[in-house]
Amino acid sequence: MRIGFIGLGNMGGPMASHIIAAGHDVTVYDVRREVADPHLQHGAQWVASPRAVAASSEITFTSLPGPKEVEAVALGEGGILQGAEPDSVYIDLSTSSPTLIRAIQAAYQEKKVHVLDAPVSGGPVGAQAATLAVMVGGDHAIYERVKPILDVIGDKVSYLGGIGCGEIAKIVHNMIGICFQSLLAEGFTLGVKAGVEPRALLKAVTDGAVGQGLMLNYMVPEVIFKGDYDTVRFALRGARKDLGLATELGRECEVSLRVASIVEQEFIEGLARGWAERDSTAPFALQEERSGVTVRAPKA
């Protein structure tokens, strides 16, 4: 196929290389001409603008820093929309705004150009190894059409729903991961200052329920998705006790536990509502109440 690729940085560069290696006719562009040299050496063609990339491509990819760059390349002067042919496909691999990609789709519909959002996760190492997770939003038929190309850049390609759903999933994923870093920082500074050697602490956390992925692999699909907060696996009163022990130890060791303290307040509110003998996941219902949505899903 004739593939265009715009954005040859730490993520886009390796992804474009995999598509070239798969035997496709690839046209590339980046604001830094020199970063395209490895791709040109392996058979890619260089053009001088995103518009020219789109004009020569059945599928045009972008891998860009963020919404500002995506909007300029997708909708701006000399951009993809000005060069794209009807029935071609534009796929944005960037972590960007779902509102923006929906606006882009609306603009592209007038020219009968298809749009997918397909942000990726796995970092430069995953990009180089072609082991990325690719989170796709948009028309399912178009997703099926282009999936063989997406399979070249990632081994975990999934369809999330309508346009923008890929971006939403990626934003949620990154939010959880980034916030989890703060919780790790609290836990490991507390553990080390209280006297545990760092590698021993890592082994304890890795061997326990956290490291075994109990929350994502069991609690979310089997408890949260079912709203089953009354089958007690670990009572809320016990979880509150453990959080209290952690924040008490933090005070003894003079370690700030901001995240843990906020969570402790959630559990105290659960106790105030009479939930002591409900499951320790019951405070999830507090966030559902505040957000006006329940997180329920039928059995897969």
What is the torsional sign of CA 152, 154, 155, 158? negative
**Residue 277 is encoded by which pair of tokens?**
């003998």
Backbone angles phi, psi at 272, to 5 degrees: -65, -25
Contact 168, 98 (CB under 8 A): yes
Residue 188 burial class via C-beta count within 10 angstroms: exposed 0-12, middle 13-18, buried 19 and up: middle
Contact 38, 13 (CB under 8 A): yes
Q: What percent of the chain is helix, strand and coil (3-state, nearest 5)?
A: 55, 15, 30
**Residue 255 is encoded by which pair of tokens?**
């370690």
For residues 27 and 208, give the distance between their C-alpha atoms in angstroms, rounded to a whole number.
49
- Sequence-ordered list of residues with C-beta below 8 angstroms from that of 27, at least 6 positions apart, any chain: 2, 3, 4, 5, 44, 45, 46, 47, 52, 53, 56, 57
For residues 292 and 275, give the distance between their C-alpha atoms in angstroms, rounded to a whole number.
20
CA quadruple 16, 20, 23, 27: dihedral, nearest 10:
90
Contact 264, 240 (CB under 8 A): yes
Please tell me which residue in 112, 156, 170, 203 is annotated as part of the active site.
Answer: 170
Per the annotation, the verdict on 147 as an active-site residue is no
Active centre residues (catalytic):
170
